[in-house]
């Protein structure tokens, strides 16, 4: 058996790619090379079908409907919650709250936990590589309640050291909120240790898992984090659906985030009482079809296996890193050990926007800009970077296409 | 390389992007403004010296940006040199129309300048890049109106 054949049996990339209809479409007359899964991932047929199947066959508003379709839709919605529960290893299904996305999950915790448990002078600790969605919600509390936002600095290679983290943790730290994986640099933060250290310091800790659930297996019970947030659309699932995992005792102690239907037990004009978890945090009609799509996405990645996906992506990352490092004038930003399959880079002869534009003309989709992490960019002294990121459907030939397209940029801008 | 990209990155643009004209501090400026396009992190400052007769005696810029925004700033300083403030406003309106594909306003007497700027017309095919091309222009407008800061977000 040839090596190629053996590899193919381990990871049938052609078959996997054929599961994603959009990968077959040409872009600007070229074969699409999609290297922007960190921004949003493409959807397999199973996800598209699950969502449309809800609308075509089992759709009605969920909860309280006294008829067949509502019962079916409700059952599927709650079954999907259990799929998510098993996926992240939560003890209870009602510890899984459906939100719009990671951003809303973090806002929920900042608003609700913050309102109840944080007061003037209390410190919220984040890292220097956070996405804006894990910075701005905590800044609201600084203005509203007089809390203090502290930042653990990022090292030159893009890592966050436990020494710096330990130094920044203090007696007034009440909440720690950090990314598991950096969306710009791919750095994997040592969250297991950070969770332990935060707890030892008496703080609660939220993990922004937007970039991690797609790259590595996550188990919130083993991690022992208090909150874990992620989005469906980066996990090959639909847009408009996100997840907040929270420990039951914390979610129970927190006030509702939004008021409305579904989240109440009783309502009178004098006073209302709240429904138990998870309904307390799911006011209004939720993203019913998207929840089914998210469950289908989880089934899909689990069928391939997150471990195998991680091996495949790591192979792409090391191949891409080697190839890119051979290019003169190219510098990779973020070189922390054990990083995820995200490569930010700059060229000394072309601006990231021009790079992305030329690459687009070659059918290669990458992102250029500050990646919603302006403070991190400022620390590295860069206005922007170009970023290529890899998903489960990418292959080595696409790294070759990226390298060839960068050759076009060189041709145009060095000429 | 596709034809579309060659339209966008014409030789003139690449040349101004590599060797921008009037990219310097203007110590005698009596107007200046800072422009920023937060989306791409482009930042520039436009300096203008307007004399007592309302004529732009000198104009320059400093800052960082992509090839399109740098070339546009460079070309802008060239066509603005020696223009009255009224002519500058007319050029701004005409250039804005050129970059966005809107119907061109009357630019009588400024045909040569508009011909020179035509190399930037390719950006209208790329909505995200229109902001790159117009950043310096918005910043010049702000400087002439004594607004300190402008953003194309």
Report whether pLDDT(A308) > 60: yes
Domains of chain A: 3-31+305-410 (3.90.1150.10), 48-303 (3.40.640.10)
The whole-number pLDDT of residue A8 equals: 63
| Contact: B41, A383; criterion CB under 8 Å | yes
Say whether B51 sits in a helix, a strand or coil.
coil
Confidence bin at B128 (pLDDT 50/70/90): confident
Domains in chain B: boundaries: 3-147
Question: What's chain B's average pLDDT?
Answer: 92
Mean pLDDT across the stretch A138-164? 97
The whole-number pLDDT of residue A264 equals: 87
The whole-number pLDDT of residue A6 equals: 63
The shortest C-alpha distance from A378 to chain B (Å) reads 10
Report whether pLDDT(A333) > 70: yes
Listing from the earlier edge strand, what are the strands of the sheet with A242-246? A96-99, A242-246, A227-231, A204-208, A173-179, A123-127, A148-152
Q: What are phi and psi of A111, to 5 degrees?
A: -70, -50
CATH says B3-147 is which class? alpha beta
**Residues in chain A closer than 8 A to B2 (CB atoms):** 28-29, 361
Confidence bin at B152 (pLDDT 50/70/90): low
For residue A378 the two structure tokens come to: 């400022």
Mean pLDDT across the stretch A273-285? 94
The whole-number pLDDT of residue B108 equals: 84
Confidence bin at A7 (pLDDT 50/70/90): low
ipTM of the complex: 0.89
Confidence bin at B149 (pLDDT 50/70/90): low
Mean pLDDT across the stretch B13-25? 96
- At A17-34, the pLDDT tens digits run 999 999 999 998 999 999
3-state helix/strand/coil string of A107-146: HHHHHHHHHHHCCCCCEEEEECCCCHHHCHHHHHHHHHHC
Minimum mean pLDDT range among A2-6, A75-79, A150-154? A2-6
| Contact: B66, A369; criterion CB under 8 Å | no
The whole-number pLDDT of residue A64 equals: 80
The whole-number pLDDT of residue A415 equals: 67
The whole-number pLDDT of residue B1 equals: 56
Percent of chain B past pLDDT 90, that is, above it, reads: 78
- At A358-403, the pLDDT tens digits run 999 999 999 998 888 989 998 999 989 999 999 999 999 999 999 9
The whole-number pLDDT of residue A1 equals: 47
Question: What's chain A's average pLDDT?
Answer: 95
Report whether pLDDT(A15) > 50: yes
Confidence bin at A194 (pLDDT 50/70/90): very high
**Residue A386 bridge partners (DSSP):** A345, A368
**Residues in chain B closer than 8 A to A383 (CB atoms):** 40-43, 64
- The residues, ordered by sequence, that sit 6+ positions from A103 with a Cβ below 8 Å of its Cβ are A133, A242
**Residue B55 bridge partners (DSSP):** B84
Mean pLDDT across the stretch A114-120? 96
Mean pLDDT across the stretch A305-327? 97
User: For the whole prediction, is pTM greater than 0.90?
Assistant: yes
Minimum mean pLDDT range among A314-323, B22-31, B37-46, B109-118? B37-46
Chain A (353-392) residues lying within 8 Å, Cβ to Cβ, of chain B: 353-354, 357-358, 361, 368-370, 374, 377, 382-384
């Amino acid at each position: 058996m040839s090596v190629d054949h053996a590899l193919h049996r381990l990871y049938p990339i052609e078959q996997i790619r054929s599961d994603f209809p959009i990968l077959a479409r040409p872009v600007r007359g070229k074969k699409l090379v999609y290297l922007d899964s960190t921004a949003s991932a493409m959807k397999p047929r199973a996800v598209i079908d699950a969502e449309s199947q809800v609308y075509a066959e089992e759709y009605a508003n969920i909860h309280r409907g006294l008829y067949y379709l509502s019962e079916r839709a409700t059952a599927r919605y709650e079954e999907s919650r259990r799929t998510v529960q098993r996926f992240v290893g939560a003890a209870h299904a009602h510890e899984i709250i459906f939100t719009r996305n990671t951003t809303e999950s973090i806002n929920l915790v900042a608003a609700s936990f913050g309102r109840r448990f944080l007061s003037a002078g209390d410190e919220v600790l984040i890292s220097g590589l956070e996405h804006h969605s894990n910075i701005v919600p905590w800044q609201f509390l600084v203005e509203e309640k007089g809390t203090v936002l502290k930042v653990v600095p990022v090292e030159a290679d893009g890592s966050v050291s436990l020494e710096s983290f330990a130094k920044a943790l203090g007696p007034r730290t009440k909440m720690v909120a950090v990314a598991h994986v950096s969306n710009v640099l791919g750095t994997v933060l040592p969250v297991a240790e950070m969770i332990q250290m935060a707890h030892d310091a008496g703080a609660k800790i939220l993990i922004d898992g937007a970039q991690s659930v797609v790259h590595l297996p996550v188990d919130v019970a083993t991690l022992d984090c208090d909150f874990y947030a992620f989005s469906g659309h980066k996990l090959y699932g639909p847009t408009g659906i996100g997840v907040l995992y929270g420990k039951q005792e914390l979610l129970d102690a927190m006030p509702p985030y939004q008021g409305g239907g579904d989240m109440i037990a009783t309502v009178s004009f004098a006073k209302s009482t709240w429904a138990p978890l998870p309904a307390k945090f799911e006011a209004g009609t939720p993203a019913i079809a998207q929840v089914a799509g998210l469950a289908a996405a989880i089934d899909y990645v689990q069928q391939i296996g997150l471990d195998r996906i991680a091996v495949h992506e790591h192979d792409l990352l090391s191949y891409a890193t080697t190839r890119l490092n051979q290019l003169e004038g190219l510098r990779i930003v973020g070189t922390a050990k054990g990083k995820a399959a995200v490569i930010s880079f700059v060229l000394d002869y072309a601006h990231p926007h021009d790079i992305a534009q030329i690459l687009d003309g070659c059918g290669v989709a990458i992102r250029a800009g500050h990646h919603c992490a302006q403070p991190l960019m400022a620390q590295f002294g860069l206005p922007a970077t170009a970023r290529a990121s890899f998903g489960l459907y990418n292959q080595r030939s696409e790294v070759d296409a990226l390298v060839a397209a960068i050759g076009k940029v060189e041709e145009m801008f060095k000429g | 390389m596709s034809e579309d990209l060659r339209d966008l990155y014409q030789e003139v643009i690449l040349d101004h992007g590599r060797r921008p004209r009037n990219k310097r501090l203007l110590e005698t400026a009596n107007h200046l403004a800072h422009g920023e396009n937060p989306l791409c992190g482009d930042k520039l400052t436009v300096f203008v010296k307007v004399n007592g007769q309302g004529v732009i005696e000198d104009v320059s810029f400093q800052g960082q940006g992509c090839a399109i925004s740098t070339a546009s700033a460079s070309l802008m300083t060239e066509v603005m040199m020696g223009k009255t403030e009224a002519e500058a406003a007319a050029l701004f309106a005409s250039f804005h129309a050129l970059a966005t594909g809107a119907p061109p306003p009357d630019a009588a007497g400024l045909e040569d300048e508009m011909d020179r700027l035509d190399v930037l017309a390719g950006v209208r095919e790329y909505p995200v890049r229109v902001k790159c091309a117009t950043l310096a222009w918005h910043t010049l407008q702000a400087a002439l109106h004594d607004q300190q800061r402008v953003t194309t977000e």
